[in-house]
Amino acid sequence: MLPSAIQLSPIQRPCRHGRWLCAWLTLLAIVHVVDAHRSSAQRFVFAVDGRNVQTTNGNDKPVSAFSLPTQSTAVKESIEDFQRFVENEAWENAFQSLETINSKATEGFVERPDGVLVPSRLLVRTLLTSMPTAGKSAYRVFYDAQAAALWEKASGAAEVDMLTQIVEKHLISSWGDRAADRLGDLYFERGDLHRAQAAWQTVLNSCPESELSKAQLLIKVATAMTLAGHAHELGEIQRSIQSRYAGDTVTVAGRSAKAGDEIARLLAEQPTAAAPVEVATLDDLELPASDEPLWQFRYQTSAATNNPGNNIPGNNNAGNLAQPFPLINVYGQPRANDFRIPVAIDGQRVFLNTFGVEMAFELATGKMLWRTGRIQDLNFQQSRQGALPERYAVLASGNRVWSVTRDPGQLSQQPPMFTLVAREAATGKELFNSRRTMSTWSIAGMPLLASSQGSVASDGGATLAAAGQAADVIYVGASRTNKSAELSLLEIDAQSYKLKRDITLGTHAVDPNQVYFDRTSEPTLALEGNRLYVDTHAGALVALRPETLSIDWAITYESPPPQSGYPSSMYQPAQLGTTGPLAAGGLLFAKGMRSPRLIALDPAGPRPTWRRPIGLPALLAGADDKHLYTGGEELAAYDLQTQELVWSTRLPSSTSWSVPVLTKSRIYQFTSRGIFEVDKRTGEVLRLFRGADLDALGGSLLVTPTALVTVSNAAITAYPMNGSHSGGDASASAPAAEESNTSNETRSKS
């Protein structure tokens, strides 16, 4: 339990009706379902957090390859009835419509005209809080007695439950604001900072007529955010207090203070608060002076430099790709290996997961520390079918390394069964395998490790900023073995390895297990503030509350389905990668793997703000305080304020999983010709470092204080940082354990 930093506010008078809110016509735009007979060009204006948004609905609705559960026809009809009754001020009939919605609502969504989907559990609250003042007054006549009865029962063990019922069912009653405020106090006393913050913000956002002190509520929210490690997100609260409530008196930990002074104190006491993830803070790199590496581990003798999306002429050994990697497609046509090679770094070691064979190397020397098998023993039966290379992952955190993998001896097994495994980072000893305790789940996508302070790690890591932090919980996508088209999110205790909760997000239009040639859609996760975001990369972005693992909202976007089964012999799958979601400039950006559009939302609404065309292979590379950067076939920078393209630079081809590294003023991209250093301001190429992996297609960059590590489709190579390496010495060369042979070896230079 956290020490009390806030003096709980005394019970104050209940919410009173006052000034009119937005016109009632904005009411059901949040949940309005458009009649089928209305013109596709019909325009709607609706309000989100007091801001008018204009959009279209009809034939321009994006076609998604992922479906989210929707409400029944009866619920939608009741919403329309409610709208009609509110228009005619038939309040009793309107409230009866709400009762019908309460009794028939499921876990599905109702879609707003702008494409945002609202879950049923928030439906009634949204309808109530959006009513005009006359409607709210009528509601209190009908329901204040029920709310008062719940308030009287709100004590002891039943207090949280009774208060929750008031907030969820009777928020606009005379007791709603007090119930939400008290609920926040109780959660704060328990140390549940996210729920406390949400409860207080409910009063601020949904009870504008409340007589509770706005300054006190804002300071409570700011204190909870600071203790939760999110002090860097206090900018909006600070601006609100300084502009409207700076002179108001608040009570904090038994003392009185001015709200303006208190918010300044909270910010001043957080000099080391974490910077927002969207701001690139990595120092510019000094690329190695010599092409000679510290060490190199090769899992292929060489790699063809042809475009990986094209056929390679010759026989099945075209390009001298070494076994065991698939050399041909399902029709026997040779292709270059463009499969993602999962690698992670923890500051001392480099971890590799090649189709279930996991290995660890000493970062400084390349010495192999442990392995779970031999690469050359893998057998793909000369086909990509069933390999599903995009589903493998590896992630390092603290003294453990996590991987998404499957038994290398069952690579051709259908349906594929992927598991989550935890190992000791130093020894490789298996600590946990979901196959034993969660055998009904097949894991999908890169896990996200989180602690009470926020995200710890969500990918292999371009930097070591998160290294050493211990994770409390792990989030990961999964599907049930008997429902492989259905996507769920799992929450697993990172210490006990027990499954805490799971939630179904929706269903793929094409079963991923029936996709043999195209890249399958794997979800990507991001934790921002008090929201967990999941991009399905199949046409839907979902926002959840981590404290309850419940869906707040979702939005669908254009995303055609992948090819299932066996396509025509002339079919060439596109180079596609998965990145994001990404927070930048107060917005949340997403770029679906198969989507031709870049979308952005203001998560406070949520309110869609961007939906601009972009190249299909484009990846979200990162952002700073002015620009959003994308990779893929070309590097590009977009102005966060105007959405305009600032510059674009086409570089030599690279793998589809090659994500640039952003520093304070540079962008670094590992391509088939080497590492390009690009000026972030202009897009000008400043330098090319060729390196020692000359026959690769490019790939990933990993940055550590002592070494720059490149990961290609052919090898892992480490170079010294900051000119600390003086050159190679052939006499110091040493093989890595037993893995040294013609197709995979480590070269070590001192």
Tell whether 339 is covered by a domain.
yes
**CATH number, position 354:** 2.130.10.10
Least confidently predicted of 21-30, 220-229, 265-274, 556-565: 21-30
| Residue 567: band (very low, low, confident or very high) from pLDDT cuts 50, 70, 90 | low
User: 3-state SS string over 588-613?
Assistant: EEECCCCCCEEEEEECCCCEEEEEEE
Q: Note whether residue 728 is domain-resident.
A: yes
Whether 121 and 176 map to the same domain: the answer is: no
- Does residue 171 share a domain with residue 105? no
- Say whether both 103 and 147 belong to one domain: no
Regarding pTM above 0.85, the answer is: no
Give yes or no: residues 642 and 524 share one domain: yes
178 lies in the same domain as 234:
yes
Burial zone of 52 (CB within 10 Å; 0-12 exposed, 13-18 middle, 19+ buried): exposed
What integer pLDDT is reported at residue 363 of this predicted model?
A: 93
Asked whether residue 1 carries a pLDDT value surpassing 60, the answer given is: no
499 band by pLDDT with thresholds 50, 70 and 90? very high
Structure tokens at 703: 């940055």
Instruction: Give the distance between the most distant pair of CA atoms in the chain.
Output: 91
Is there a domain that residue 377 lies in? Answer: yes
Q: Are residues 541 and 650 in the same domain?
A: yes
CA dist 54 to 62, 115, 590, 599, 630, Å? Answer: 17, 12, 21, 16, 28
Between residues 152 and 567, the one the model is more confident about: 152
User: What burial class does residue 694 get, using C-beta atoms within 10 Å of its C-beta: 0-12 exposed, 13-18 middle, 19+ buried?
Assistant: middle
Query: What average pLDDT does range 618-631 have in this prediction?
Result: 91
Domain finish residue from 251, 268, 285 = 268
pLDDT > 90? residue 328: no
pLDDT for res 632: 86
- Stretch 120-147: mean pLDDT: 85
Task: State residue 452's pLDDT score.
Answer: 60
Q: Are residues 480 and 373 in the same domain?
A: yes
Quote the pLDDT of residue 166: 93
- Asked whether residue 282 is assigned to any structural domain, the reply reads no
- Number of helices (H), then strands (E), in the chain: 11, 41
Domain holding 194, by residue range, is 143-268
% of the chain residues with pLDDT over 70: 75
Q: Which residue has the higher pLDDT, 217 or 110?
A: 217
Q: Do 606 and 658 fall into the same domain?
A: yes
Closest CA to 588 of 276, 273, 193, 232: 276
Per-residue confidence band for 661, with pLDDT thresholds at 50, 70 and 90: very high
| Residue 160: half-sphere exposure toward Cβ, Cα within 13 Å | 12
Are residue 455 and residue 379 in the same domain, yes or no?
A: yes
Instruction: List, for residues 664-718, the tens digit of each pLDDT value.
Output: 999 999 998 999 999 999 999 999 999 998 888 888 899 888 899 999 888 899 9
Alpha carbons 669 and 632: distance in angstroms, whole number: 10
Among candidate residues 129, 160, 193, the one where a domain is terminated: 129
Take residue 503 and report the two structure tokens written for it.
Answer: 């939630």
Name the token pair of 668: 């670094």
Using the predicted structure, report yes or no on whether residue 28 has a pLDDT greater than 90: no
Residue 278, pLDDT score? 39
Residue 568 belongs to a domain: no
Average pLDDT over residues 275-291: 69
Q: What is the mean pLDDT of residues 130-154?
A: 92
Measure the CA–CA gap between 171 and 552, rounded to whole angstroms. 18
Q: Is residue 472 located within the same domain as residue 501? A: yes
User: Given this model, what pLDDT does residue 463 score?
Assistant: 37
- Of 98, 129, 160, the position where a domain reaches its end is 129
DSSP 8-class letter at 270: -
Most confident among 39-48, 82-91, 142-151, 227-236 (mean pLDDT) = 142-151
Question: Residue 731 — pLDDT band, cuts 50, 70, 90?
Answer: very low
Mean of all residue pLDDT scores within the chain:
77
CA 547 to each of CA 154, 186, 194, 534: distance values in angstroms, whole numbers, following the listed order = 22, 15, 7, 15
Domain count, the chain: 3
Terminal alpha carbon distance of the chain: 51
pLDDT at position 106: 67
Could you tell me if residue 284 is inside a domain?
no
Residue 76: CB atoms within 10 A of its CB come to 18
Average pLDDT over residues 142-156: 93
Asked if the model's pLDDT at residue 49 lies above 80, the reply is no
Predicted confidence at residue 317, as pLDDT, reads: 32
Sorting pLDDT into bands at 50, 70 and 90, what band is 525? very high
Whether 255 and 316 map to the same domain: the answer is no
What are 424-456's pLDDT values in tens digits?
999 999 999 999 999 999 999 999 998 765 555
State whether 317 and 252 are in the same domain: no
Given a cut of 90, whether residue 465 has pLDDT beyond it is no
- Mean pLDDT for the stretch of residues 283-302: 84
Q: Which residues contact 720 (CB under 8 A, 6 or more apart)?
A: 288, 294, 706, 707, 708
The reply to whether 372 falls in a domain is yes
* Alpha-carbon distances, residue 694 vs 462, 713, 717 (angstroms): 22, 11, 11
Return d(Cα 46, Cα 35) in angstroms, integer.
16
The secondary structure of the chain in percent helix, strand, coil, rounded to multiples of 5, reads 25, 30, 45
* Residue 208's CATH number: 1.25.40.10
Of 27-31, 396-400, 584-588, 634-638, the range with the highest mean pLDDT is 634-638
Residue 451 lies in a domain: yes
* Whether pLDDT at 271 is above 60: no
Mean pLDDT on 58-79: 77
Phi and psi, residue 94, nearest 5°: -60, -45
CA distances in angstroms from 440 to 418, 482, 499, listed in the order given: 11, 8, 12
- Of the candidate ranges 351-355, 408-412, 623-627, the one whose mean pLDDT is the lowest: 408-412
Closest C-alpha among 486, 465, 466, 468 to residue 477: 486
